[in-house]
Structure 1
Amino acid sequence: MSFNASKRDGSRMAIIGAGSVGSAIAFACLMRSVVSELLINDFNEKVCQGQVLDLQDAAFVSSTKVRVGTPKECGQADIIVITAGARQRPGETRDELVQRNEDILRNVLDGLQPIKSTAILMLVANPVNILTCMAQKFSGLPPSQVIGTGTYLDSVRFRVAMREHLQVSGASVHAYVVGDHGDKQVAVWSSATVGGKPLLSYEEIKSIDCDEEAKKVARKAYSIIDLKGATSFGIAAVVSDLALCITLNKLSVIPISTYCERFDACLSFPVSLGTNGVERIVYPEMNEKEIAMVEASAKATREQCAKYNDHRK
Structure 2
Amino acid sequence: MKKTSNKVVLIGAGTVGTSFLYSAINQGIASDYVLIDILPQAAEGNALDLADTMAVLPNPFTSIKSGNYSDCTDADVIVITAGLPQKEVKSRLDAVVVNALIMKTIALEVKNSGFKGITIIASNPVDVQTLIYQEVTGFDQHRVIGSGTTLDSSRLRRLLADKLNVGAESVDAFMAGEHGDSSVAVWSHASVMGQPISKYIADKKITQAELDEIRDEAVNIAYKIISLKHATFYGIGVCLAKILKAVLRNERTTLMVGAKLNGEYNNNGLFTGVPAIIGENGWSSIIEWDLNDFEQAQFNKSCEILLAAISKAHEAIK
User: Gaps (5+ residues) in structure 1?
Assistant: 1-7
Distance 1:195 1:285 in 2: 20
Write the distance in 2 (CA, Å) between the matches of 1:91 and 1:211: 26
Q: CA deviation at 1:117?
A: 5.4
Q: Give the Å deviation of 1:105.
A: 0.8
What does 1:282-293 correspond to in 2, within 5 Å? 282-293=287-298
Q: Which residue of 2 aligns with 1:20?
A: 15
**Deviates most, 289-298 or 86-95:** 86-95
Residue pair 1:14, 1:40 contacting (<8 A) in 2 also: yes
Q: Does 1:249 align with 2:256?
A: no
Q: What SS does the corresponding residue of 1:211 show, helix, strand or coil?
A: helix
Q: Following the alignment from structure 1 to structure 2, what is the Cα–Cα distance between the partners of residues 75 and 236?
A: 24
CA contact (8 A) 1:48 1:68 kept: yes
Q: Percent identity?
A: 29
Which AA in structure 1 matches 2:288?
A: Y
Change (3 A) 1:209 1:167: closer
Counterpart in 2 of 1:53? 48
Aligned AA (1:270)? P
Q: Secondary structure of the residue that 1:204 maps to in structure 2? A: coil
Assess if the C-alpha contact under 8 Å between 2:100 and 2:317 holds in 1: no
Question: TM-score when scaled to structure 2?
Answer: 0.91
In the TM superposition, residue 43 of structure 1 has moved relative to its aligned partner by: 1.5
- What residue in structure 2 maps to residue 126 of structure 1? 124
Query: Superposition pairs for residues 110-149 of structure 1, below 5 Å?
Result: 110-116=108-114, 118-149=116-147
Match of 2:86 among 81, 88, 91: 88
Q: Of 169, 172, 192, which residue of structure 2 is paired with 1:171?
A: 169
- 1:197 maps onto 2:195 in alignment: yes
Question: Where does residue 156 of structure 2 map in the other structure?
Answer: 158
Mark the runs of 5 or more structure 2 residues left unpaired by the alignment. none
> Could you report, residue by residue, the CA deviation over 1:222-279 in whole angstroms, capped at 9, with x for unpaired residues?
1111111111111111111111000100011100111111211211101110000011
The 2-side partners of 1:9 and 1:77 are apart by 7
Answer whether contact 2:69 2:113 (CA < 8 A) is retained: no
Quote the Cα distance in structure 2 between the aligned partners of 1:69 and 1:124: 20
What is the Cα deviation at residue 200 of structure 1? 2.5
* Counterpart position of 1:228: 229
2:223 partner letter: Y
C-alpha distance in structure 2 between counterparts of 1:9 and 1:43, whole Å: 24
SS of equivalent residue, structure 1 residue 205? coil
Q: What amino acid is the match of 1:95?
A: L
Q: How far apart are the structure 2 equivalents of 1:46 and 1:124?
A: 22
Determine which of 249, 265, 275 is the counterpart of 2:280.
275
* C-alpha distance in structure 2 between counterparts of 1:53 and 1:9, whole Å: 20
- Structure 1 distance, partners of 2:303, 2:194, is 30
Contact 1:76 1:115 (C-alpha < 8 Å) held by counterparts:
no
1:221–1:213: structure 2 CA closer, same or farther, 3 Å change rule?
same
2:210 is the counterpart of 1:209: yes
1:266 aligns with 2:261: no
TM-score by length of 1: 0.93
Q: How many residue pairs are counted as aligned between the two chains?
A: 306
The amino acid of 2:85's aligned partner reads R
On the 8 A contact 1:83/1:125 being kept in 2, the answer is: yes
